Amino acid sequence: MDVGIKEIRRMAYLEALGIDSYVSRTQLPGAALTRRMAIASTRATPVPQGAENPIPGAISAPAKQRDAGTRPGAVPVARIKDAVPLPQRDEQSPPRTAAVPRFSLTAIVAGDWLWLEELVGMPLTKEQVQLVQSMARALVLHREPRTETGTSATHPGLAPPAVAQFDWPIHTNQQLDLGSEAARASVAGFVGRRLEQHGCHGLVLLGQSCAMRVPLEELKIFTVRTASSAEILAQPALKRTVWRDLLPLVTRL
């Protein structure tokens, strides 16, 4: 390819990049002699006479680029905000929330009390309900011993237990609050309704994990804490300790 054509192509590339000129100021050691040519161009700007280090044939940048502050020999760099757009938040996407607690509570109304226990990985069994009923029966009979004319079957405090379950979260709408504080508020509402509906005189929290779920400061009812029914069934030796924990329910009436 002719040297002149090569130079014209090189100038065209530089012009497309917004570079006025690109030549060596000094002769590099061992390099071939640089052949400088005067290239005619309709957009060329003549170099003033007496200018420092004039370069024959240098093509000046367009006036619009000079006004924008383009420096001769500078390589244009794309601005980051233009090359990589910042991610835009989707207004339709749900807001980020804290981890959602997941748990289930069972509420058993037996005797004059509400018995509350957290179900840890297992459903409520018939044996657990029977154990709670037996503990409630023992408390009723301890308070009002049977006489010759009365039987446990006719005692109003010995009716069959009423069982209900509370599951959190109660819905899957991520737009609403599903955090720990919202869960405690919902538990307080669930327990409060059952206490009022059944006229319970006390609350029994079965198990340490259950006590952590209930905001007692909002319920304002006499409460005792003891081992869970699952723990009592697994360790029958706990019954003596549990009985001592439950006796204040009788003395409070």
* Neighbour tally for 125: CB within 10 Å: 13
Tokens of 234: 């697994």
Judging by DSSP bridges, how do beta strands 113-118 and 202-206 pair with one another? parallel
C-alpha of 12 from chain center:
55
Separation between Cα atoms, residue 228 and residue 208, nearest integer Å:
8
Separation between Cα atoms, residue 99 and residue 88, nearest integer Å:
24
Using CB atoms within 10 A of its CB, is residue 89 exposed (0-12), middle (13-18) or buried (19+)?
A: exposed
Q: Which tens digit of pLDDT belongs to each residue from 175-213?
A: 788 888 889 999 999 999 999 999 999 999 999 999 899
Separation between Cα atoms, residue 137 and residue 117, nearest integer Å:
18
- CA-to-CA dists, residue 215 to 97, 183, 184, angstroms: 22, 10, 6
Collect all residues with Cβ–Cβ distance below 8 Å to 101 and sequence separation of at least 6: 168, 169, 179, 180, 183
Tokens of 174: 């991520």
> What is the dihedral angle through the alpha carbons of 198, 200, 204, 205, rounded to the nearest 10 degrees?
50
* Neighbour tally for 191: CB within 10 Å: 25
C-alpha of 195 from chain center:
33
pLDDT by residue, tens only, the chain of 253 residues: 566 677 788 788 888 887 876 666 676 666 666 555 554 444 444 545 554 444 444 444 444 444 444 444 444 443 433 434 444 545 554 455 568 889 999 999 998 999 999 998 889 999 999 999 999 999 998 887 754 444 445 565 678 899 999 999 987 777 788 888 889 999 999 999 999 999 999 999 999 999 899 999 989 899 999 999 999 999 999 999 999 999 999 887 6
Domain definitions of the chain by residue range: 1-79, 103-251
Q: How many CA atoms are closer than 13 Å to the CA of 142, on its beta-carbon side? A: 16
- Note the pLDDT of residue 15: 81
